[in-house]
Amino acid sequence: MKVSDKIEIKDFGKQLLKWGIEIPCDKVFPILGFSRLDNFIRFLNNPKYYSGVVFSAFTEKPFKISIRLFFDLVKLRLGWNDQWEELFTEAWTAIYEKKMLQFTPSSFKSNYRFNGYYLKVGGKFYLYSINTIAIANDNNLCPFDLYKYCVQNFIRYNDGIRTSIDYHTHEPYLSFDYKEHIRRYQVMILLNQVSKDFPMDELQKKRFEIYCKTMKKMLMTQFEVDSNKQEREKRQRLMIDNLLFGCAVTDEELTELKSLYRQSVFLCHPDVTGMDGSMFRTITEAYNKKDVRRMRTLHKTLSKSN
């Protein structure tokens, strides 16, 4: 039974995206060419294809299968075409983006300080850890095989990569969770190498390509988030300057202020011009307060008088 006899792939794709990573079997068994749900269960229990999957007629219904298994069944039962390719890409892109492009707006850490609570406010935090275990689990690879491959083919050429042990599974892994973005981007070098040399089947390679694109998008988004955070911190420093000194200046204005101050001091310093020190004190006061506008006016007045 063909898919087109029952439902259009495009219409089915909309529902598939709503289900996410788990798909109810009672909704998809007719699409895969089965007349009854029991027949579908017996097929899933066939050790020739899926020895690790165990279903029975007594399983609570409706039970679900993973989206990875669903696309494996599509390729096995129905064959692969451009429409399934497009739906495969769209579905895995949505799954990876939902999982990887997640940020927390702020974080509050409470510590006892001076017999009270001290709240430390952090900026954007990343929810997706960049390490070989996460890469392996999200692409249906063996974490230990991936770690062994990385140690043999990657880590020797890239100094500073952290090796750790997972607390729960006791599996070794390489971590790329660095504060410096230039070091976080080392994971892209690893992913490009894995995509070329690591053994994967056809669907795994397609899914891995989507994963690499999403990882690159995540890193770019993180860089943008942190850049915006630095800009906000810079504006906050300017606001503090405004509160302390009565004005806020940018780096360009600060450079201009220093230049005008040097020129004005040369035009009105008592030791150089013989003038009284009132104008010199006024210029020094404007410089200490970082008052660029007043410094421009004073410099213009001195230039005209000389």
Q: What is the mean pLDDT of the chain?
A: 76
Q: How much is the pLDDT for 2?
A: 46
pLDDT confidence tier of residue 106, bands split at 50, 70 and 90: very low
* Spatial distance between the Cα atoms of 136 and 277, rounded to a whole number of angstroms: 74
This prediction's pTM: 0.63
Q: How much is the pLDDT for 276?
A: 76
β-pairing, 22-24 with 107-113? unpaired
User: Which long-range contacts link 209-217 to residues 24+ away (Cβ below 8 Å)?
Assistant: 210/89, 210/92, 210/93, 210/96, 211/92, 211/96, 211/135, 211/138, 211/139, 212/188, 213/93, 214/93, 214/96, 214/97, 214/100, 214/101, 215/100, 215/130, 215/187, 215/188, 215/191, 216/188, 217/97, 217/101
Query: Average pLDDT of 209-235?
Result: 81
pLDDT digits (tens, 9 = 90+) for 69-88: 888 888 888 888 888 888 88
The domain ranges of the chain are 3-100, 107-239, 251-305
pLDDT confidence tier of residue 197, bands split at 50, 70 and 90: confident
Q: How much is the pLDDT for 209?
A: 92
pLDDT digits (tens, 9 = 90+) for 231-262: 766 666 666 666 555 555 677 778 888 888 88
Query: Average pLDDT of 169-183?
Result: 79
